[in-house]
Amino acid sequence: MEHGPSDTFVADPALVELPVGDVAAGGGCVGRAPDGRVAFVRYAAPGERVRARVTEERAHFLRADAVEILDASSGRVVPACPHAGPGRCGGCDWQHLDLALQRRLKAQLVATQLGRVAGIDRHLVVEELPGAPDGLGWRTRVRFAVAPDGRIGLRRHRSHGIEPAADCPLAVASLRAAATVLPRWKGAREVEITALGADSVPLIAVSTLSGANRRPTTVPALPVELAGAGLVVDGRSLAGPGHVVAEVRHRRFRVSYGSFWQVHVAAPLTLIDAVIAALEPREDERVVDLYAGVGLFAGFLAEAVGARGSVLAIEQDRRAASDARANLADLANVVVRSRRVDAALVARELEGADLVVLDPPRQGAGVATMEALCALDAPPRRVAYVACDPASFARDARVLLEAGWQLGTLRAFDLFPMTEHVELVAAFERPAPPGQRVHLPASHLPAYE
């Protein structure tokens, strides 16, 4: 990929030359192709003029990759990873942008979603997390694809193609070390490596082409460098522990293969502090932690409300719920239940709760669940909503705001440097009296709900 004007240029029907403007959801910059169609251009920066290779063509828009930069942005940098760029690894959208510009663009994307969908007008600063000042060395989990010859690599963008690469500079040191000495595994489909700290023992999980119903005929021996590492094949633990252990302040959390844990090494502590600040828990209060995972928030909230308070942790995944029970066994004021979070559960379990934590997956809690929360006769005094997708968060937030809830603090965190993704933590306070409620105009209603 060239980063400056070229003296010669051979015409190519798959190439278009165009200026690009702001970023859109998905990470690409928006431009207009010579034929008038909107173009979403990856590997570009706002304000640049580029030559881009068309990768997808639709009736009303194009997708393209910038392959030559004619007029470069001052925020453009050389990617730290040799596998980043057009046609290469699809994991990083923004390695070509400096971190300050990345965070400004993320704030802009979030503000646009919140304003369009929920009518929220907030100035946001995307906060840097500690431990990764250059945007590298923060990932605690990487999923590699496996080529037919057994070598690991990373998926290319919107493709089943594999970029041969055993090293990801976004990963923590122990994960990078494990990946570079991993033996070839013919017959494997994917290898996921988890290491929750720079020096932690990794957990290696392999999915084979034969699937969980048939054990692979050969299991390569792990090298001496991975002595003590856990090995899980098609969901079965074959060596070492089938979990990793994270230490957050004074608490230890078992995280089994398949259980959710934040991918940024500094995210757990950062989010705990943000949620505690959003809720301001008091002694004796009753807390309900929805989508509780392995009990990260529940553990610290149980300590905050004291022995006379209580925490109900709800987690649908039975594996994660089992981890949560083990992780919170020392806290007599915590109950963990493996249940699906839906409107019926909210109506049954949240009545009379003082505080609620919502940390749903990317699709959000959903309108029906939020409406059930709004319909409670005795609503909680505060709700902390932790979101990894601004669009689904905005949709859910709109339901609360329409019902008279007040949006308090709203913070954004750079949990995913080198990508467009961002994490939000919002505090909502129980509805004001009916006469003080503000109704949003219908023009802000999202089209997809």
- By annotation, the residues acting in catalysis are 388
Closest CA to 342 of 311, 378, 370: 370
Convert 246-259 into a string of H (helix), E (strand) and C (coil).
EEECCEEEEEECCC
Separation of alpha carbons 62 and 66, rounded Å: 12
SS3 of residue 385 by DSSP: strand
Single-letter code of the amino acid located at 217:
T
CB–CB of 335/312 below 8 Å? yes
Distance spanning both ends of the chain, measured CA to CA: 41
CB–CB of 391/113 below 8 Å? yes
Cα atoms in the Cβ-side hemisphere of radius 13 Å centred on 266: 18
Separation of alpha carbons 20 and 359, rounded Å: 35
Percentages helix, strand, coil for the chain (3-state, rounded to 5) are: 20, 30, 50
Separation of alpha carbons 399 and 141, rounded Å: 34
Backbone angles phi, psi at 287, to 5 degrees: -120, 140
DSSP 118-130: I-------EEPPT
Q: What does the chain come to in residues?
A: 449
Instruction: Give the tokens for residue 46.
Output: 């706002």
DSSP 55-118: EEE-SSEEEEEEEEEEE--TTB---SSTTBSTTSBSS-S-TTB-HHHHHHHHHHHHHHHIIIII
Separation of alpha carbons 275 and 288, rounded Å: 13
